């Protein structure tokens, strides 16, 4: 089996199309546009695979150009079974472009597509192709909700609780008083038997994060996510030693090597690898390293693909359910009673609706190489 053709496409989709409920934002940003960069691969045996990445409004054309110029030419003619070698070769080839960022997410899109086409060709859902450790796992309801008022936040979190979720995540990053009031209001609304995570999106330095943790600890948080910028591994380690609240991070780490110092320093207790940054190959390497370090993994976002990866490793903790792409998908992931089950269709099963996306194709038209 060989890759016979690849097609890369770039879309800019405004917020009202995928999130008609109003504003959506966190401590450092508000999202008005999502860019999708997709990659379809076809083999000489008729199987097709799909990969993608996204940005929150900037840089999509750079990712698309890198796929066109440097990655797609390396895929055509290759055997998808060599995906792990291809992942390594691409990272080596593009090292001087940068080990992370645009390079990593472009490689990830290709890697996801190659793993998908392997599973499709085998007529197996991706989690069964990788090797099943479980057939479902608990999901937690997540939201980018810092822009909501406290009353709106409580209504949102209570709605998720009523849907059967036993774990919820909310944003923090307002003033200290506002954060405490909002966390208290949510905790009172959802009850003590509900796991509650908070996500700061890199809002603080070590001193401020320590100050916040001292007043948030009484709310029995399941974790505090990204209190600091990702480069401050020493700060994470100092902070984790000083608090009983588990720290979580990983969504803004782009290579497996970036997780290594966190594991060596005991800087976090909840690694959060993201397949969109790492690819399936890199994600599985992080999960394996976390297992060696005695840690679980809690995948960041993209539940439609992560449900497969999490069910195929022994140390997955839970699944983040954040349905930002739901209105754009042919078959959205369904959650029942707070449990996520991978679909049994071949591959990962995540496909965007061409009808939904086609009006938002970016001016740089799709690239097709044979």
pLDDT tens figures, 218-275 = 999 999 999 999 999 999 999 999 999 999 999 999 999 999 999 999 999 999 999 9
- Please measure the distance between the N-terminal and C-terminal CA atoms of the chain and give it in whole angstroms: 15
What is the mean pLDDT of the segment spanning 130-156?
A: 96
- CA–CA distance, 341 with 318 (Å, rounded to integer): 12
pLDDT tier for residue 368 given thresholds of 50, 70 and 90 = low
pLDDT band of 185, cuts 50, 70, 90: very high
State the SS3 of 169-231.
EEECCCCHHHHHHHHHHHHHHHCCCCEEEEECCCCCCHHHHHHHHHHHHHHCCCEEECCCCCC
**Does residue 171 have an active-site annotation?**
yes
Residue extents of the structural domains in the chain: 3-123+352-369, 127-340
- Given pLDDT bands bounded at 50, 70 and 90, which one contains residue 366? very low
Cα 128 from chain centroid (whole Å): 21
Residue 82: Cβ within 10 Å count: 13
Instruction: Clarify whether 91 is annotated catalytic.
Output: no
State the catalytic residue, choosing from 171, 306, 308, 348: 171
What residues form DSSP beta bridges with 329?
Answer: 352
Give residue 30's pLDDT band: very low, low, confident or very high (50, 70, 90).
confident
Architecture, CATH, for domain 3-123+352-369? 2-Layer Sandwich (3.30)
pLDDT, tens only, 47-91: 999 999 999 989 999 999 999 999 999 999 999 999 999 999 999
pLDDT band, residue 164 (cuts 50/70/90): very high
**What pLDDT does 21 receive?**
76
In the sheet where 33-43 sits, what is the strand order?
Answer: 48-55, 33-43, 3-14, 367-369
The answer to whether 243 and 265 are in contact (CB under 8 A) is: no
Q: Of 262, 260, 270, nearest to 315 (Cα)?
A: 270
The domain made up of 127-340 has a fold known as: TIM Barrel (3.20.20)
CB 332 within 8 A of CB 323: yes
d(CA 266, CA 247): 10
196 neighbors 221 (Cβ within 8 angstroms): yes
Query: Which position among 91, 300, 306, 308 bears the catalytic label?
Result: 300
> pTM of the full predicted structure?
0.96
Cα(118)–Cα(84) distance, rounded to whole angstroms?
Answer: 12
**pLDDT tens per residue, range 298-326:** 999 999 999 999 999 999 999 999 999 99
Q: Is the pLDDT at 19 greater than 60, yes or no?
A: yes
């Amino acid at each position: 089996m060989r890759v016979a053709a690849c097609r890369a496409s770039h879309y800019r989709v405004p917020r009202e199309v995928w999130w008609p409920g109003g504003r959506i934002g966190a401590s450092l940003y508000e999202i008005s546009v999502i860019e999708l960069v997709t990659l379809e691969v076809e083999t000489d045996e008729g199987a097709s695979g799909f990969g993608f990445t996204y940005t929150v409004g900037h840089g999509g054309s750079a990712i698309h150009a890198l796929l066109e110029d440097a990655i797609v030419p390396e895929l055509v003619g290759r055997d998808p079974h060599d995906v792990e070698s291809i992942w390594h070769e691409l990272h080596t080839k593009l090292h001087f472009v940068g080990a992370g960022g645009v390079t990593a997410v472009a490689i990830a899109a290709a890697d996801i597509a190659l793993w998908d086409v392997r599973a499709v060709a085998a007529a197996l859902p991706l989690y069964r192709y990788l090797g099943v450790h479980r057939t479902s796992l608990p999901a937690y309801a997540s939201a980018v909700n810092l822009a909501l008022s406290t009353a709106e936040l409580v209504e949102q979190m209570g709605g998720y609780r009523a849907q059967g979720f036993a774990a919820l995540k909310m944003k923090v990053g307002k003033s200290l008083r506002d954060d405490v009031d909002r966390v208290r209001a949510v905790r009172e609304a959802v009850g003590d038997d509900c796991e509650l995570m908070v996500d700061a999106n890199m809002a603080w330095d070590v001193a401020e994060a320590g100050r916040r943790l001292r007043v948030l600890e009484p709310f029995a948080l399941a974790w505090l996510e990204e209190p600091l910028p990702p480069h401050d591994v020493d700060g994470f380690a100092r902070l984790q030693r000083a608090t009983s609240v588990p720290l979580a991070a990983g969504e803004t780490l782009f290579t497996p090597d970036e997780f290594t110092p966190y594991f060596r320093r005991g800087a976090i207790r909840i690694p959060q690898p993201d397949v969109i940054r790492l690819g399936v190959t890199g994600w599985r390497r992080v999960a394996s390293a976390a297992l060696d370090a005695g840690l679980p993994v809690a995948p960041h976002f993209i539940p439609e693909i992560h449900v497969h990866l999490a069910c195929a490793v022994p140390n997955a903790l839970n699944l983040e359910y954040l349905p930002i792409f739901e209105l754009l998908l042919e078959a959205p992931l369904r959650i029942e009673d707070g449990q996520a089950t991978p679909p049994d269709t071949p591959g990962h099963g995540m496909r965007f609706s061409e009808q939904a996306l086609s009006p938002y194709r970016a001016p740089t038209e799709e690239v097709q190489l044979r």
